[in-house]
Structure formats: C-alpha cells, structure tokens
C-alpha cells in the first residue's frame, strides 16, 4: 500500500458517508417515501447517494412542482433527524460507526483528523481554518446531523444544497467551497465517498480522495479519484507554515485495461 504526502491549502469534505453516516435512518426514510410515491426502492438506495434530495425527487417525481419538490426534500431530511434521535434515545450504549443502532454517527478517523487540522490552525493566528464542508444536503439538516455526532464544531465554511443552483456531479458546489474558503480550487483536496461527488471535485479542478465507506474502490477510481482509502483513519494531517500536509495510506491505483 503506497503512502503519499500531499500539500494542500484546504480540505473540502463531503459530509454524509465521508464524515458521518446516516445510512440506517436515511434508508428508513427512503422506505417511507418509496411507499408513499410508489418509487423503486432499490433504485433509490443504489443511485441517490451524493446528490441533492430535491434533485433525486425531481428526477423520479416529475409531477411535483419545484416548490413541492423542495418542500418534500426538507420534510425528507427532517424525518432523518427524527428517526436518528428516536433511535439514539432508545440505544443501550453510545452509537458508533460499528454499531450505529439506527442513529447518525461519526465515521472512523474523522474526529482525530479534524482535531489535527483544528489544533494546527489554532496554533498560528495567520492560518486559515484548513477545512470546509460541502454537502448535497440542506443546510439546517446538515448542520444538525453533523453536530449530533459530537465529532467537531462546525467549520467556518459550510456549503449546502441551499447555497448552489446545481448539485453534484456539477462542479459548482466545490468551486463554491474553495471560493468561500479564499483558496484556489487546484490547491484543495476534495474528500468524497460518492461517485457523483468525486466527479464534482474533479470537474471543479481539485484533487480527490475517495473513501470506500459507501461504494467500492473501482467506482471511485473510474470517476477520477487521485487516492482511495478505506476511511479517514488512513489519513493524518499536520501543518507546515500555512499549508496542511496530509499523509495518505492509499490503495494502489489498479489498471482497468
């Protein structure tokens, strides 16, 4: 397994499937919506990840007006939080990535990596925060979901589906993240678990680190990922001056010929 050192100005993280996992609660809500709207549940579970909820609904429910689709997207995401909170209150122990018990949880290595970045940024006043979140979820839901895991405080830059006109795989979300962070996108690394997100990052001009937390490595490589790891426990960060230096224990890039 090769190890790489990568110098970046800022890490642009996807949220769900990258920093946190809402899989159990999310799947339960797709079951409810599939039943209500007679949608193909297998299609939803296989192909919806990494895209804005409103776009997933618009693609499959053309009878909804734009206003109705947006309203249903908010209701969908509110329901994820409700189910997660219900399950957390019933849990016999603290939910973890290994045993989420139906709740939204932080993923392996996330808390440690963000602490390394945050501690380094705080050590020198002139340093930028070093990371941002760029998510396909709506802002209210995403902030609640992230904070519920007690992984870290919210970053200063938090781009949600509310902040863009076009979602992933369009490059707009990650371009927006770099712009709000005050950095050149080519000096960022995007961290993603979804093929649509990998493609968004590459189209924006960033290097991309793919995580095998949701999809297999091949799908990430084929969308152009520069590095692929199991999860963020395979990544370490330190600061040198105003740069974040990442040590990445990546899979070896396969040949698909």
The domain locations on the chain are: 3-22+102-249, 23-90
Measured distance CA(23)–CA(17) in Å, rounded: 8
Q: What is the mean pLDDT of the chain?
A: 95
pLDDT in tens, 77-95: 999 999 999 999 999 898 8
* pTM for this prediction: 0.90
229 alpha-carbon distance from chain centroid: 15
pLDDT at 25: 92
Residue 186 has pLDDT above 70, yes or no: yes
Residue 257 has pLDDT above 70, yes or no: no
Name the residue among 3, 8, 9, 61 with its Cα closest to residue 36: 61
Strand partners, 10: 188
Please report, to the nearest 10 degrees, the dihedral formed by the alpha carbons of residues 112, 115, 116, 119 taken in order.
-160
* Per-residue pLDDT band at 66 (split at 50, 70, 90): very high
Residue 143 has pLDDT above 70, yes or no: yes
pLDDT at 111: 98
Q: Phi and psi dihedrals of 228, rounded to 5? A: -140, 130
Measured distance CA(150)–CA(200) in Å, rounded: 28
Q: What is the DSSP letter of 54?
A: H
pLDDT at 220: 98
Give yes or no for a contact between 29 and 104, defined as CB atoms under 8 angstroms apart. no
Strand partners, 106: 20
Q: Give the relative orientation of helices 66-90 and 23-37 as an angle to the nearest 10 degrees.
A: 130
Residue 256 has pLDDT above 90, yes or no: no
Measured distance CA(104)–CA(245) in Å, rounded: 29
The set of residues, in sequence order, having a beta carbon less than 8 Å from that of 105 and lying 6+ positions away, is: 20, 21, 95, 96, 97, 149
Q: Round to the nearest angstrom and report the end-to-end CA distance of the chain.
A: 21
Distances (CA, A) of 94 to 89, 121, 159, 220: 10, 30, 29, 31
Residue 237 has pLDDT above 80, yes or no: yes
Topology annotation, domain 3-22+102-249: Rossmann fold (3.40.50)
**Encoding tokens for residue 54?**
């409103």
Name the residue among 5, 148, 32 with its Cα closest to residue 86: 148
Question: What value does the mean pLDDT take over residues 119-144?
Answer: 96
The 10 Å CB-count burial string (b at 16+, else e) for 165-195 is eebbbbbbbbbbbbebbebebeebbbbbbbb
Distances (CA, A) of 96 to 22, 93, 149, 151: 11, 9, 9, 11
Catalytic residue numbers read 14, 16
pLDDT in tens, 43-60: 998 888 878 899 999 999
């Amino acid at each position: 397994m090769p190890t790489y050192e990568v110098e970046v100005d800022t890490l642009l993280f996807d949220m769900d499937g990258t920093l946190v996992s809402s899989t159990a609660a999310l799947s339960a809500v797709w079951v409810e919506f599939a039943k209500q709207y007679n949608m193909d549940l297998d299609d939803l579970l296989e192909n919806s990840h990494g895209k804005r909820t409103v776009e997933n609904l618009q693609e499959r429910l053309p009878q909804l007006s734009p206003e109705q689709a947006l309203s249903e997207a908010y209701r969908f995401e509110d329901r994820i939080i409700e189910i997660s909170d219900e399950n957390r209150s019933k849990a016999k122990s603290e939910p973890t990535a290994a045993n989420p018990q139906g709740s939204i949880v932080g993923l392996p290595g996330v808390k440690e990596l963000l602490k390394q970045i945050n501690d380094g940024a705080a050590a020198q006043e002139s340093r930028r925060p070093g990371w941002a979140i760029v998510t396909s979820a709506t802002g209210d839901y995403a902030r609640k979901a992230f904070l519920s895991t007690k992984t870290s405080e919210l970053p200063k830059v938090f781009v949600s589906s509310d902040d863009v006109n076009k979602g992933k795989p369009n490059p707009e979300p990650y371009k927006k993240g770099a712009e709000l962070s005050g950095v050149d996108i080519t000096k960022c690394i995007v961290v993603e678990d979804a093929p649509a997100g990998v493609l968004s990052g590459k189209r924006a001009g960033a290097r991309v680190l793919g995580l095998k937390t949701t999809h297999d490595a091949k799908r990430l490589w084929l969308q152009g990922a520069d590095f692929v790891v199991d999860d963020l426990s395979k990544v370490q960060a330190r600061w040198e001056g105003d740069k974040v230096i990442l040590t990445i224990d990546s899979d070896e890039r396969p040949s698909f010929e």
